[in-house]
Chain A
C-alpha cells in the first residue's frame, strides 16, 4: 500500500510556524521530518511518523505554492487562492525575507550577479546554512535590489511599500541594497570583526547624508548612489592635511580643548597628524570608485586600528572625534565648513560604531 496522493486543503490556509522555519532553512522533507521527530512532537501529540511525514509534505507543498506570491508580497495580500489572516500573511512575508547574519556578511557589498550565485556553494559550506536557504536569501537580496534600484523616493519607504516588510527589516534591506550598489568591500580579514548591524548603521547614515536624495528628493536613484558632486568636492578637504600650518593649527586647537580630558592624551597628541591625514585622505580619494569600495577597509586601517592598538577607550574616541570635527570651524583659512560637516558628521557616526573589538 503506497500513498499516491495525499493532500489537505483548508478554507483558511493552515500555516505551521515550525515547519515554515524548517522550510525556510532549506531542509528537505525527510530532514524536516527527522528534526520534528527530534523535537518530541510525536510524544506530545501521539502521532505516528507517517502522519508527520504527510503533514510535513503538505506544508511544504503549500509553502511552495505560496513562494511565487511571496516574491511580490502585495500579491499575497490581493490574491484570492489562499485565505490567510493578515497577521499570518505578515508573518509569512517577514520570515521569508529574514536572513542569516552569517550569510549576509558573506555577500554584503558584493555584486548580486550570477557570478556571486556560483559562490553560494562555498558560502553554504562555510556558514553551514543549506544551499537552498542561501539561494532564497540571495534571491531575496537580488529581487529587492532590482525592484528599488531605479526607483525615486526614499529607499526604505520603497522597500516597505513593495515588499511589505517591517520597519526594521526594510532598513536592513536598504543597507544591503546600498552596499550592493556601491560594492563596499566588507569581506577583508580585518573587517571580519564587524557585524551586519555595524555596516547597516553606517549605510543608514551614508544614505541620509551622502546620497543625492539627501540634498534633492526629486532625483532618480537618489538614495542608492552617492552624490558624485559631493565626492568630487571632498578633494577640497585635502588642504587640511596638505597645508602644514593648517594641520598644526588644527592639532593645537584639538589638543588644547582635550587636554586633561582624555586618558590617552599623549597617544592622541603623538598620532594626531597620522589620524587626521588618514581621515582626510579617505575623503579625498572617494572620487575613485575603487576607493569608495575600500572605504571601510581604509577607515579601519587608518583610524580604528591605530586607536585600538593604543587602547583608546570608546569615550575618548568620541571626545576626540567631536573635537576634531568641531574645531575645524575655528580654522580661519578653511573655507569648506559645510562640506566638512557633511563628510565628518557621517564619518564620526560610522567610526564610533566601527570602533569595537
Chain B
C-alpha cells in the first residue's frame, strides 16, 4: 500500500437545471478511484451547491495511481427514479507522483458530459501521500518525469540522453463491443474515454519502467497517439527519449554516471525482405525498398525515401582525426542500442555534429488480418520492422542516429499506413554516456567545429555516396563538403547561420485510387506511395528554389488514406543556410520547340518564375555574399553517379528495376512542360501567394531571422472540411481543390490575426484526414506571436555584418547559458511558485507595463489566464517549473446537430470546451501555461440525415509555471532594494 490518495469535494457552480418543476438541482458527487467509490451528501435545491465534503481517502498501489484516473461524477438525486448524471471530471493524478511537480491539485474543473458538453464547474482538492518503497519488485515507475517538449526542458540540464523508448498497448474498442448495441451513446463514450485514460496511464507507467531500467529519470519528447483500428481494437502507443535530467537550480547534484545504454531486449522478427528497390536520380536521391512478404498477416512494405536534397559525399578523411574519433565514440555508444532514435528536435549545444538528411519509411498493413488482435505483438513487429528500415537508411547516409524522429498512422477501414520519419545524424557521444569526456571534448569541439556550419557538413563518404548529389565546399568554413540542399525534420539549430528570414513551405498532393478490398487495396496503395513521395519531394524542392532558399527544417510529410484517394501534405520551414551554396533558379523547357507561340508561352512562364524568385529573395531578405566561382567545388561528374547508383542497388536486390523518376538527364532544376499535368504543376507553383506584409509563417519553433518577440501570443485551432463534387473527379481537380483549401485556410488565418501584425505564425501544424468519401478535413494548430517591428527594421544592414553579428550573439548566448542558471535560480528563493502565478495575473510594473500594454491587468476577474502554445517556450517569460504532462482525451456526441448550430457550431463549441478543460487542469495544478501543446487527433464524424455528429479529440502538452522576464527584473531590483522584506515585493507587484 504505497500511496494514499485524498480527495475533497468543495463546491459546485453554474450547474444545469435538472428539475424542471423547481428550476433547481439536487446535486451530489461520486468520487471513484479504481474500484472504490465515495459519495457526498445531496445538496438540495441549488445550482451552486456547497458540499464541503470530508477528505475521501483511497489506499492504493502506486501502480494503480499511475494507471487509473480519478473519476468524479456529479449527479442529480431523484427520489423516485434513477439518479441523473450531470457530468464527469477525470483527473490525471500523475503530476502528483513526482516530487518536483505539483503537490496539490485544487481548483474549478468543468463538469463534462459527452452529450451536453460542459455543464457547470466543480471545485475539487486532490492530494497524494506516497510512501517510498524502493526495494519492492517495481511495477510502477513513479517519479519518472514526462515532457512533451521535444528539447531539453528549460529549467533542466541533460546529464545523459539515453535514447529511444517506446511502448504500445492494445484493447478492444468499447464502441465495437456487443454491449454497445444495447447501451446508450453516453455510456459507450464514457467507457471509451475511461479506457483510453487507463491505457494512457498504463503506457506511461510501462515507459517509465523502461526509463528506470536505463537509469534515466525522465522522458523528453514524449508523443502518445491512439489508433482507432475499429473492429481489431484500439491501440495506444507512445515514443519518447529517455534522459537523465538535472534540475538547474541544484547544479551540484550529479547523478552517478550510468553507462548502460538502452538494450531493449526485444526480438526483431525481421528477416531481410526480398525487395525490389528503386533508386532514382534526379535532384532527389530516392532510396526505395519495396517489398512484399507473405506472412500471416498481409503486409506491404513500401518505398522509403532518404531526402537530403542534393548532396552527399564528404570528408570522412578530410575531417581529420577528430572526426574519426568522434565517429568511433558515437558509433560505440549507439550501436549497442536497437534503435538509436531521438524524438528531440532541438538539442543542447554541441550535441548534433552532422546531419545527413531525412529518412522515412512507410508500410501498408491490413488490420483484419491481425492474427491475435488483442495482443500487441503484431503491431510491435510492424513498428520494429519500420524502425529497422529507418535505421538502415540512416546507416546508408553514414549516420548512426536518427533525430527528430516521429511515427504516425493513417487508417481507412481495414487498411493502415504506418509511417516513420526522422533525420539521420551524427551525434556527439558525450551526452549519450556519462559526463567524463565532457571537458576535453568540449575543447576540441570549439577548435574543430566552425560555428554555424558544422551540422551541414556531410556525414557520409564522398566516394561512397548513397545517392548522387552536388557537393561543394562549405560556404562558411571552406574546409568541408556540404550538399547543395538540406532537408531535415528537426528545428533549426540555434547556432546555425541563416541569411534572411524563413518561410513555411508546403507540398500538397492528391491521388485518386480505385475502391478496392483487402490485398488489392493495399497493393494499390503501396503502388501509389512511391510516386506520391516523389512528387511531394519534387514540389518541395521546386518551391524551395522558388523561394531562393536552400534548406528545409521541421519537415513533416503526412500521407492520408481514404476510400478512393490518397492525400499527401508536406510542411516544412525553408531557410537560406549561409553554409550551403546559393540555389540555382528553375528553368522551364518545352517539348515542342518548333511551335513559336508555345515558345513564347514558355518564355513568359520562365520570366514569371524568375520574377517570383527575385521577389521572394527581397521579401525574405536573402542576399548572400557573392562568391568567386573557383571556391565552389564542381559537381560530381554524372557517369560516376550512375555507376555508383547501380552498384548500391545490386547489393540490396536481385531484380533491379531502374525507376528513373528524373526528367531525363538534364540539369537538376529543369522543369519540363510536356503535358498539361506539368503545366498545372508550374501554375500551382506560382499560385502560392506569400503571406500579406507583416506576416511570416513557419512550422518550426522559432522563425529564423526574427528574435525580438513580444509577449503577445495567440494559440488557435482552425478546422475546415470541404465536400468534393463527386462528378468527374480528376487528379488535377482534386489537387486544385486541396491546394485551394489549404491556401484559403492560410489566408483566413492571416486575415483573422491581422490585428497582431507584425506577427509570425509559428509551429504551424497541418493535419489532413479523409473522414468520408468526398470529404477532406484539414486541421491547423499554430501560435501567432507578435514581434517588435522597430527592432526588426534595424537589421537592414549588409548581410555580412548581420551574419557576423548573429554568429557573435550566438556565441554570447552559449556563454550566457551558465549565467542564466544563476539568474534563474535567484528569484526562485524569494518567489515560491504560487506567488509567481499571482505575479503573472497582476499588473506588470515599470517595463512590464510597456511590454504588456495590449493586455491590461484584470482586477476583478476570478479566472486566471492560462496561456497555451505549441512552442516549448513563452516569449518574454521564464519557465520556472514543470508541473507535469497534460494528456487528455474527449469524446463529444450530439443527436441535435442542427440545434447546436450545425457541424461548425458543434465543433467550435467542442474545441472551445477542450481548451477550457486543459486550462482548468493546468490552473488546478498551479500553473499558468501549457507549452508544447499539440492536438494529436481530431476525428470528426457526422451524419446530417440523422442530425448526429461525433468528435474525438486528443490533446497533450506540458503544464508549467512561468514568470514574465520583466517581472523578474522588477522583482529582483525591488528585492535588492528591500532585502530584509522579500514578501513586500510580491505584495507590491500584485496590487
User: What residues of chain A have their CB less than 8 Å away from a CB belonging to chain B?
Assistant: 1-14, 45-48, 50-52, 54-55, 57-58, 61-62, 64-65, 75, 77-83, 85-87, 89
Q: Are the CB atoms of A86 and B856 closer together than 8 Å?
A: yes
B915 nearest in chain A by CB position: A11
13 contacts between A and B (CB under 8 A): A1-B725, A2-B722, A3-B722, A6-B720, A10-B716, A11-B716, A11-B868, A51-B744, A51-B751, A61-B905, A78-B862, A85-B865, A86-B861
Give, as a whole number of angstroms, the nearest-CB distance from A61 to chain B: 6
Contact across chains for A5 and B716 when beta carbons are under 8 A apart? no
On whether the beta carbons of B913 and A81 are closer than 8 Å, the reply is yes
Interface string of B771-814 (1 = CB under 8 A from A): 00001010000000000000000000000000000000000000
Determine if A9 and B858 form an interchain contact, defined as CB atoms under 8 angstroms apart. Answer: no
Given the interface contacts A9-B915, A10-B714, does A1 sit within 8 Å of B722 by beta carbon?
yes
Decide: A61 and B901 in contact? CB cutoff 8 A.
yes
Query: Using Cβ atoms and an 8 Å threshold, which residues of chain B touch A64?
Result: 901, 905
Which A residues are in CB contact (< 8 Å) with B747?
A: 47-48, 51
Considering the complex, give the chain A residue whose CB is closest to the CB of B866: A83
Residue of B nearest to A13 (CB): B912
Q: Is B855 within 8 A of A85, CB to CB?
A: yes
Q: Shortest beta-carbon distance, A16 to chain B, in Å?
A: 8
The contact of A65 among B862, B908, B920, by CB within 8 Å, is B908
| Residue picked from A55, A83, A89, most chain B C-beta under 10 Å | A83
Contact partner of A83 among B754, B859, B860, B865, CB < 8 A? B865
Chain B contact residues: helix, strand, loop or mixed = mixed
Report B-chain residues with C-beta under 8 Å of the C-beta of A4: 721-723, 775, 903
In the bound complex, CA of A55 to CA of B749 (Å) = 9
Expressed in whole angstroms, the Cα–Cα distance for A78 and B856 within the complex equals: 18
Residue in A2, A48, A81 whose CB lies within 8 Å of B916 = A81
Decide if B673 is an interface residue (CB 8 Å cutoff).
no
Query: B952: CB under 8 A from chain A?
Result: no
| Cross-chain contact B13 with A78 (CB below 8 angstroms) | yes
From residue B774, how far is it (CB to closest CB) to chain A in Å? 10
Chain B residues, Cβ within 8 Å of A11: 714-716, 867-868, 915, 919
The reply to whether A8 and B14 form a contact with Cβ atoms under 8 Å apart is no
State how many angstroms separate the Cβ of B892 from the closest Cβ of chain A. 13
Chain B residues with CB below 8 A from A87, complex form: 856, 858
Do B723 and A57 touch across chains, with their CB atoms under 8 A apart?
no
B-side interface residues toward A, CB under 8 Å? 13-14, 108, 110, 118, 121, 692, 714-725, 737, 740-741, 744, 747-752, 754, 775, 777, 855-856, 858-863, 865-868, 901, 903-905, 907-909, 911-913, 915-916, 919-920, 940
A residues near B719, Cβ cutoff 8 Å: 5-7
Known contacts A2-B722, A83-B915, A85-B855; A10 and B907 CB within 8 A of each other: no
Q: Give the complex CA separation of A79 and B861 in angstroms.
A: 10
Identify 4 new A-B residue pairs, CB closer than 8 A, beyond the known A1-B722, A7-B719, A9-B911: A4-B722, A51-B747, A78-B862, A86-B856
Residues of A within 8 A of B777 (CB): 5
Distance (whole angstroms) from the CB of A68 to the closest CB of chain B: 11
Contact B751 A85 (CB under 8 A): no
Chain A residue nearest to B855 (CB atoms) is: A85
Q: Tell me whether A5 and B14 are in contact (CB under 8 A).
A: no
Give Cα A46 to B750, complex, Å.
Answer: 10
Residues of B within 8 A of A10 (CB): 714-716
> What is the bound-complex CA distance between A14 and B720, given in angstroms?
18
Q: Tell me, rounded to whole Å, the shortest Cβ–Cβ distance linking A340 to chain B.
A: 44
Chain B residues contacting A85 (CB-CB under 8 Å) are 855-856, 858, 865
Docked Cα-Cα span, A83 to B14, in Å, equals 17
**Shortest distance between the CB of B109 and any CB in chain A (Å):** 9
**Distance, CA A236 to CA B863, complexed state (A):** 57
Residue in A closest to B777 when the chains form the complex, CB atoms: A5
Query: In the complex, A105 Cα to B867 Cα: how many Å?
Result: 45
In the assembly, what is the distance between CA of A80 and CA of B913, in Å?
A: 8
Q: Shortest 3 CB-CB distances between A and B: which pairs?
A: A86-B858, A5-B721, A10-B716
Distance in angstroms from B772 CB to nearest chain A CB is 10
Q: Which listed residue (B744, B749, B860, B907) contacts A77, Cβ 8 A?
A: B860
Task: State whether A78 touches B863 (Cβ < 8 A).
Answer: yes
Nearest Cβ on chain B to A82's Cβ, whole angstroms: 7
A90 to B937, CA, bound (A): 35
For A6, give the chain B residue with the smallest CB separation: B720
